[in-house]
Structure 1
Amino acid sequence: MSSIAPSAPQPVVPQQLALEIEDDFRPCAVVPVYNHERTLPAVVAALLAEDLPCVLVDDASRPEAAQAIDELAKHPDVHLVRHTYNQGKGGAVTSGLREAARLGFTHALQVDADGQHDLSCVGLFLDRACQAPEALICGYPLYDASVPKGRLYARYLTHVWVWINTLSLSIRDSMCGFRVYPLAPTLVLLDSVELGKRMDFDTEILVRMHWREQPMVWLPTRVHYPKDGISHFRLWLDNLLISRMHARLFGGMLLRAPRLLWRRFLR
């Protein structure tokens, strides 16, 4: 009786591996929107030019803004989530991330609707996310002369608190909302912890993902503040929410301090 020897497994060539990675990498953009009807069309056009589907989250915008959003949502690659009441930036981003996962995307690029972010580097961020699909790709801002000096200097207070609450200097900037989230670990966090829903969201999610040993990659990105730009930062309320967030995180850091120090110094 003749026997046939089992064939040796075929090696995976780099081209095949790249195709497999790309098949498992399905990105979109998540854009929280609140009364940005003037700047949003250009943002969406730039993202679609990168072949990047968009999830727009209308955070209870005024009627004229909602109408502009509805027009954009007629595009087959633009998906719309609408809040009946304003939940804040964090609430809008959270809704967008959940919708992106429901639609079958694996990664989501968070982009502001006000035109501050340099969308010419979208391709770079997506390429890096494709190369490291398990990592959170974070932008750290390179400001031009348009940045308000008060905002620039105030950011350092948050930087210091983030360094304290992580016992690390690894988070370069927690307030820049230009980043690519890997949706699977991000939703695990969102399902287990209630995060801040307003301007405290961007910082809190990074600190908590750092606690969970989430890999992060940092890339520079230019940020511009238009002269007639719209800011929804509420000086007293948002600063109060951010202060409360830092206090909560400080308590969480104390509980995790032995493990955080072990990760930093003994690993």
Structure 2
Amino acid sequence: MPESRPVVLIPSYNTGPILPTTVEAALAMGVPVRVVIDGSTDGSADLLSPLLSHPRLQVIRLERNAGKGSAVLHGTREALKEGFTHVLCMDADGQHPADLIPRYFSCSAMYPEAAVFGRPVFDASAPALRVNGRKVSNFWANLETLGWGIDDSLFGMRLYPAKELVEVFESTFFARRFDFDPEVAVRLAWRGVPILNLPTPVRYLSREEGGVSQFRYLRDNALLTWMHTRLFLGFVLRLPWLALRGENPLLSLSPPAS
């Protein structure tokens, strides 16, 4: 029987003063936390200095910005070396609720073979353009996996089996930047990794609250368009096998979408 020994993994690029708040919230859950500084130039990494003596925290600094996916890959490889079996990725910008970390860990303990994906529950702070725009990526992700059970292809709070995640990364030269979340979701589904979806509140912080965003509408949507073009071609090649393998064995365990 597989086991689950998870760690929280927080990639960060120019997150500003919200970074230590996010890290402190995760540490308050009594879990190990690893932060990957992805070549930040805004001094935010230095704000973690008062926390570096914490026994459950390690900070990894990458010299150059290589993208979210690259930071997660680096952090996941280090986690495997430490003996962790799963990584729970959280964004550094305070959008994801640290108080749900125990629930993600609990799901992983019950179903260690699975990836646990957050299904975002938006409040009034969510920009309508972002909420509605992600529906396009969700449509394509579910088509490319024949409805394997990816409720949201772009949401960043997810718990991954670490070994399978690294293998997915090693199967492609892509998924290293903003395309990380949707591409690895599709490729994990292609590999037959069961997916559970966990409703998760998400909050978009205002600038006054310290909110930051690295999203660039034209650049990142162009990247997603190219990504789904590639994935659709991969889907066509895999279609006979995908049609014969059956459905996600944990599909019925995900709460129904409202």
**TM-score if structure 1 supplies the norm length?**
0.86
SS of residue matched to 2:43: helix
1:183 paired residue number: 162
Letter of the aligned partner of 1:236 in structure 2?
L
Q: RMSD over aligned Cα, in angstroms?
A: 1.8
Whether contact under 8 Å (2:118, 2:197) holds in the other structure is yes
Matches within 5 A, 1:100-111: 100-111=79-90
Letter of the aligned partner of 1:43 in structure 2?
T
Matches within 5 A, 1:220-235: 220-228=199-207, 229-235=211-217
Query: Per-residue displacement from partner, 1:23-67 (whole Å, max 9, x unpaired)?
Result: x43211110111223112222112112221111110111252121
Aligned length: 245
- 1:252 aligns to 2:234 (yes or no): yes
**TM-score if structure 2 supplies the norm length?**
0.89
SS of residue matched to 2:104: helix
Q: Which runs of 5 or more structure 1 residues have no equivalent in the other structure?
A: 1-19
SS of residue matched to 2:160: strand
Q: Compared with structure 1, are the counterparts of its residues 91 and 70 closer, same or farther at alpha carbon in structure 2 (3 Å cutoff)? A: farther
Whether contact under 8 Å (1:141, 1:223) holds in the other structure is yes
Query: What is the distance in 1 between the residues matched to 2:5 and 2:188?
Result: 21
Query: What is the distance in 2 between the residues matched to 1:102 and 1:169?
Result: 30
Q: Which runs of 5 or more structure 2 residues have no equivalent in the other structure?
A: 250-258
Query: What is the distance in 1 between the residues matched to 2:146 and 2:111?
Result: 25
Larger Rg: 1
Query: What is the distance in 1 between the residues matched to 2:142 and 2:239?
Result: 13
Whether contact under 8 Å (1:58, 1:69) holds in the other structure is no
Query: What is the distance in 1 between the residues matched to 2:246 and 2:42?
Result: 51
1:96 paired residue number: 75
2:65 paired residue number: 86
Once the 2 structures are TM-superposed, how far is the Cα of residue 85 of structure 1 from its aligned partner? 1.1
Once the 2 structures are TM-superposed, how far is the Cα of residue 264 of structure 1 from its aligned partner? 4.2
Query: What is the distance in 2 between the residues matched to 1:74 and 1:56?
Result: 14
- 1:206 aligns to 2:188 (yes or no): no
- Percent identical across equivalent pairs? 39
Whether contact under 8 Å (2:13, 2:39) holds in the other structure is yes
Once the 2 structures are TM-superposed, how far is the Cα of residue 191 of structure 1 from its aligned partner? 2.5
